[in-house]
Amino acid sequence: MIASPATQPNGAPPSRMTPGRIGIYAFLVVTALFFLTPLYVMIVTSLKTMGEIRLGAILALPRAPTFEPWIVAWSSACTGLRCNGISVGFLNSVKILVPSVIVSIAAGALTGYTLSFWKVRGAGLLFGTLMVVAFVPYQIFIYPLVRVLATIGINNSIPGIVLIHTIFGLPTMTLLFRNYFAALPPELFKAARVDGAGFFRIFWSVMLPMATPMLVVAIILQVTGIWNDFILGLVFAGRDNLPMTVQLNNIVNSTQGERAYNVDMAATILTALVPLVVYFASGRWFVRGIAAGAVKG
Amino acid sequence: MMPVSFVKPRLASRLAVGLALSPAVMVVVVVYVGCTAWTMWISLTASRMLPNSTFVGLRQYASLMGNERWQVSVVNLAVFGALFMVASLALGFLLAVMIDQRVRAEDLLRSIFLYPFSMSFIVTGLVWQWLLNPSFGIEKMGRDLGLDWFRFDWIVRQDMVIYTLVFAAVWHAAGLVMAILLAGLRGIDPEIWKAARIDGLPPWRVYLSIVIPMLGASLATASVLLATSVVRLYDLAVAMTNGGPGLASEVPAKFVMDHLFERGNLGLATAAATSMLITVAAVVAPWLYWQARQRDRRLAA
Amino acid sequence: MNKRCDVSIRGAEIAYGTIKILEKFDLEVAQSEFIVLLGPSGCGKSTLLNAIAGLVDLRDGQIWIGGNNVTWEEPKDRGIAMVFQSYALYPRMTVRGNMSFGLKVAGMPAADIARRVDNAAAMLKITELLDRRPAELSGGQRQRVAIGRALVRDAGVYLFDEPLSNLDAQLRAELRVEIKRLHQRLAATMIYVTHDQIEALTLADRIAVMKDRVIQQLGTPSDIYRRPANRFVASFVGSPAMNFLPGTFALRDGAPCFAAAGISIPLEGYGFDARPQPGAAIELGIRPEHVEAGGDLPAAVEMVEPMGSDQLAWLRLGNHPLSMRLPADTPIASGQSLQLRLPADKLNLFDAASGRRL
């Protein structure tokens, strides 16, 4: 079969938009809509008036968008006995977040550094134990920890919750940094030793600066994890320092009478805002964080 | 004679190492080991609202097994766990495979599927509670479209509410599974794809016979992560349904929390917590052991 | 049984976005020929091989295999087989599984598959490995399995993408011989990509030396070695590398010669491709084994490298470094003086600016 020159195959083959490929795109688009719908509904509901909400049509755009629910949620929604809005919770979450992130990452980095480069008897055992206990549900530790913290005198306080977050963050943070340091060329460490640097000097001046990618990943993981935490904040932070997640649950689930769904959704978005911003701002780093934290050992 | 400076650094660094590791050691010993032991001890005593050191053997466990609320919690968790894991793995795998087909807008798609994972379980639960609200949510929407027979009130039905939790949890976790499996897929030597193409293998055959067996480690990792979050299920249940209607969405973690605080029964709560621990250990220990063996085998090679 | 196809690449253009990998590329490979694409990394040789296989699309141009225009065909329909640098064996299958999987999926009867697998295994001496997994094999064994997987396809053209680069030197030498024996036995058409010039010289019927996406020279190993078409080919092929002396072309009493600081080398007897102008800047190339003693060019020995079967002496001719190959038992020491002769028929002259052979 000799084709005429005009129809001879030449160059790139015609576009391979087979039914298979169309099916792939269709599946992805439909699934993407499924994933986006809750976010969309959240935003849309928070901008509607209660009158409009009562009419139903949960997917409809607001006819007369208003930020009133947001203002109410921020400054006058009732979380239990007080009605100062969820801004109180926001401030508490920040007060908890900043020290917790710093301390837990510092502890993890130092521990990971020590276990990577320095010969310690039982290092393997310590690391292995840390990895194992990371899987244990919190419920096992809650009562004893409450007693311990109360005895030290820091229960129901910011230092208390910071300590708790550090304790429970130690396995993952140590894993992150230890794996990262273990992948660096060992000659780096030897060169620093030959240069005469001591334990903390090497950590502070050589290893920590090199670990910037992992610091970014650690910050992302800890900010997301600590901000989203509910159970630890509920138990250990104390009534005056309840984080935003706890306040949010109080606003939505413990209202008597008719619920102000638009205020509820506004408060929900406000609570989700910080990790969402971190997520969208961090791009590929978030995925790196998952990959690094998911590889245990 | 050895100069003094030679000896000092050794000692100093030993001290420094000890100092640096002391937090970790303290945490492991005091918190993890100590608190676990303490909790287990309490579960063997007659403690109610306050700890009581009367040793009663396994009586708490016996009353736990006979406790209706606990029984329902365990069954709920088993149903939830099985459905959640299968659905998350399947959906995550499909998404990973599709995205790996060199589709356009890969970054955008990945962001869309993964953003739920960045949200708290409380937020997740509240959003889905709203979506599934019978009066104002999806059911109302269906009714408004003229479908009078349309019902989607699972969230207030005792026999269906557990499935609503599965929806919300899969929405939250499928992106994570996708990210892990996608990383695994990307780790496959691209020349294997070329060889398969030259061998004339259709794509589905390649995935079935070659890729999935190679993804063993990623699938295991994803499964273990999913399994541990199943046992920890608390925030989502509290936010979405608070265990209701009735006991229909009670879960073990909530049982423990309720009995530790509101219901004031330490003995029962700690027995429940210890039972959770044993379940987790049964799942995770073999995996960790297998991982350690793999690492040793790799090091020996 | 063996199809033995010829391959024709006509006007091929390959690009990724705006980056051009190959432009207006032509190459004819005859039936049963063993042609090597030789060049440094980035010269486009691997991309070309992938395009012949059908793994990369052309932006323009055609590829013909065995008289058929296969430009739009899938790899499995082109009648090709390929061996990869990283072996690309399916890790969870046995050797037998790896070799038979493609045929099984294509629906070939089990008896035929078994026959082909056993034949290929016997040819490559891997029969006792058939039930093992790739992880249990050494690098050399894995590569044999990869070649076996290609052989069972009974293809018209066999493509090799740097198959020996991941092996150590000794294994590389062993498998090189195997591949040459295979070609003698099967007389199949083979297109082989490598950056190792020794592989090229030992295996090829013809070599296409590539650089910067263009064929610098296409010829037999002998041609390429003895009459390199430009400075790049001359420096790339041959080990130890060719010596280069910069200088100018001059006429002494009408006789052509090469002039550099303090030296004058007669060029009588050199076969010119193009005659340069007197005063033109040129480069003189000569291989270490062609440098002879017993002439009238004074040189000093700076260093001697013993290399087992012979030794490499590093000399200074005027103020130019020059390497010279000598038999192992010739007495020579650093500090010695030598009188050298550079025979004109072994010289290679290149234009200093363009690098083209003169």
Residue B185, CB-side half-sphere exposure with 13 Å CA sphere: 21
Cβ–Cβ of C105/B192 closer than 8 Å? no
Q: Chain C: residue nearest A16 by CA?
A: C72
Q: Chain C: residue nearest A13 by CA?
A: C72
Q: Which DSSP string do the residues of A48-90 spell out, in sequence order? A: S-HHHHHT--TTSPPSS--SHHHHHHHHT--BTTB-S-THHHH
Which positions in chain B touch A135 (Cβ < 8 Å)?
224, 228, 280, 284
What would you report as the CA-atom Rg of chain C, rounded to the nearest whole angstrom?
24
Per residue in C297-311, pLDDT tens? 888 999 999 988 899
What is the band of A17 on the pLDDT scale with cuts at 50, 70, 90? low
Cβ–Cβ of C105/B191 closer than 8 Å? no
Q: Range with the lowest mean pLDDT among B129-138, B158-167, C8-17, C170-179?
A: B129-138
Q: Does domain C243-351 have CATH number 3.90.550.10?
A: no
**Summary mean pLDDT of chain B:** 85
Cβ–Cβ of B194/C80 closer than 8 Å? no
* Residue of C194, C159, C152, C143 whose CA lies nearest to C55: C159
SS3 C298: strand
Chain B closest-CA separation from residue C78 CA (Å)? 9
Q: Chain B: residue nearest A275 by CA?
A: B118
For residue B128, is it within any domain?
yes
Check residues B14 and A93 and name the one with the higher pLDDT: A93
- Percent of chain B topping pLDDT 70: 95
Cβ–Cβ of A137/B235 closer than 8 Å? no
Task: Name the residue range of residue B184's domain.
Answer: 69-288
What pLDDT is stored for residue B57 in this prediction?
Answer: 80
Per residue in A239-294, pLDDT tens? 888 999 999 988 888 777 778 888 888 999 999 999 999 998 887 888 877 777 66
Minimum-distance CB partner of C57 among A3, A8, A13: A13
What pLDDT is stored for residue B7 in this prediction?
Answer: 41
- Residue A143 tokens read as 């009562």
What pLDDT is stored for residue A294 in this prediction?
Answer: 65
Chain B closest-CA separation from residue A99 CA (Å)? 17
What pLDDT is stored for residue C145 in this prediction?
Answer: 94
What pLDDT is stored for residue C120 in this prediction?
Answer: 93
CA B14 from centre of chain: 39
- Domain coordinates in residue numbering, chain C: 7-236, 243-351
Contact B238, A249 (CB under 8 A): yes
Chain B closest-CA separation from residue A180 CA (Å)? 16
For residue B110, is it within any domain?
yes
Which positions in chain A touch C72 (Cβ < 8 Å)?
9, 13-14
Q: Chain A: residue nearest B294 by CA?
A: A297
Which positions in chain A touch C59 (Cβ < 8 Å)?
11-12
Contact C315, C340 (CB under 8 A): yes
The kind and range of the H/E element at A295 are: none
- Residue B147 tokens read as 């479908």
What is the band of A295 on the pLDDT scale with cuts at 50, 70, 90? low
Q: Range with the lowest mean pLDDT among A199-213, B169-183, C102-116, C192-206?
A: A199-213
Find tokens 């020794």 and name the residue: C198
The kind and range of the H/E element at A170 are: helix A158-183
For residue B6, is it within any domain?
no
For residue B201, is it within any domain?
yes
Minimum-distance CB partner of A130 among B24, B228, B285: B24
Q: Range with the lowest mean pLDDT among B149-163, C51-65, C122-136?
A: B149-163
Which positions in chain B touch C81 (Cβ < 8 Å)?
198
* Residue of C29, C8, C39 whose CA lies nearest to C193: C39
Cβ–Cβ of A11/C69 closer than 8 Å? no
Check residues B157 and C152 and name the one with the higher pLDDT: C152
Which positions in chain B touch A248 (Cβ < 8 Å)?
122-123, 126
Dihedral, B197, B200, B204, B207 alpha carbons, nearest 10? -50
Q: Range with the lowest mean pLDDT among A24-38, A49-63, B214-228, C11-25?
A: A49-63
Which positions in chain C touch A13 (Cβ < 8 Å)?
57, 71-72
Which positions in chain C touch A11 (Cβ < 8 Å)?
13, 58-62, 71
Minimum-distance CB partner of B136 among A53, A129, A224: A53
- Percent of chain A topping pLDDT 70: 95
Domain count, chain B: 1
pLDDT tops 60 at residue A5: no
* Residue of A273, A114, A83 whose CA lies nearest to A178: A114
Supply the pTM of this predicted model: 0.81
Residue A253 CA to residue B123 CA, distance in Å, equals 12
Which positions in chain C touch B192 (Cβ < 8 Å)?
88-90
For residue B121, is it within any domain?
yes
Minimum-distance CB partner of A56 among B123, B144, B285: B144
CB contact B199 to C (< 8 Å): yes
Q: Please name the residues between 14 and 73 in chain A that touch chain C, using a CB distance below 8 Å.
A: 14
What pLDDT is stored for residue A297 in this prediction?
Answer: 37
How many C-beta atoms surround the C-beta of residue A61 within 10 A? 11
Query: How would you list the strands of the sheet with C7-16, edge to edge?
Result: C19-29, C7-16, C60-65, C68-69
pLDDT tops 60 at residue C354: yes
SS3 B213: helix
pLDDT tops 90 at residue A202: no
Average pLDDT, stretch C198-215? 93
What pLDDT is stored for residue B166 in this prediction?
Answer: 93
CB contact C91 to B (< 8 Å): yes
pLDDT tops 80 at residue C191: yes
Chain C closest-CA separation from residue B193 CA (Å)? 8
Q: Which of A3-17, A44-58, A82-96 has the highest mean pLDDT?
A: A82-96
Contact C24, C13 (CB under 8 A): yes
Minimum-distance CB partner of B231 among A137, A252, A290: A137
What is the band of C218 on the pLDDT scale with cuts at 50, 70, 90? very high
Is the complex ipTM higher than 0.90?
no
Tell me, yes or no, if the two domains C7-236 and C243-351 fold the same way.
no
What is the band of C189 on the pLDDT scale with cuts at 50, 70, 90? very high
* Residue B227, domain CATH: 1.10.3720.10
What is the band of B52 on the pLDDT scale with cuts at 50, 70, 90? confident
Which positions in chain B touch A169 (Cβ < 8 Å)?
none
* Residue of C144, C239, C241, C244 whose CA lies nearest to C201: C239
**Amino acid making up residue C63:** I
Check residues A63 and C85 and name the one with the higher pLDDT: C85
- Domain coordinates in residue numbering, chain A: 94-243+275-294
Q: Chain C: residue nearest A1 by CA?
A: C68
Minimum-distance CB partner of C92 among B194, B196, B213: B213
Average pLDDT, stretch C66-94? 90
Cβ–Cβ of A56/B140 closer than 8 Å? yes
Size of interface B-C (CB pairs under 8 A): 64
**Summary mean pLDDT of chain A:** 85
Residue A279 CA to residue A281 CA, distance in Å, equals 5
- Report how far apart the first and last C-alpha atoms of chain C are (Å, whole number): 47
Per residue in B139-176, pLDDT tens? 777 777 777 667 777 878 888 888 989 999 999 999 99
What is the band of B15 on the pLDDT scale with cuts at 50, 70, 90? confident
Name every residue whose Cβ is closer than 8 Å to that of residue C320 and which is 6 or more positions away in sequence. C245, C246, C260, C261, C263
For residue B29, is it within any domain?
no
pLDDT tops 60 at residue C13: yes
**Which chains neighbour A (Cβ–Cβ under 8 Å, 3 or more pairs)?**
B, C
Size of interface A-C (CB pairs under 8 A): 28
What is the band of B1 on the pLDDT scale with cuts at 50, 70, 90? very low
Q: Chain A: residue nearest C62 by CA?
A: A10
Which positions in chain A touch C62 (Cβ < 8 Å)?
8-11
What pLDDT is stored for residue A125 in this prediction?
Answer: 83
Name every residue whose Cβ is closer than 8 Å to that of residue C208 and which is 6 or more positions away in sequence. C27, C35, C36, C37, C38, C215, C217, C218
What pLDDT is stored for residue B3 in this prediction?
Answer: 43
Residue B29 CA to residue C302 CA, distance in Å, equals 69
Q: What class, spelled out in words, does domain C7-236 have in CATH?
A: alpha beta
Average pLDDT, stretch B105-117? 89
What pLDDT is stored for residue B87 in this prediction?
Answer: 96
CATH of domain A94-243+275-294: 1.10.3720.10
**Summary mean pLDDT of chain C:** 90
- Percent of chain C topping pLDDT 70: 99
- Residue B299 tokens read as 């090091």
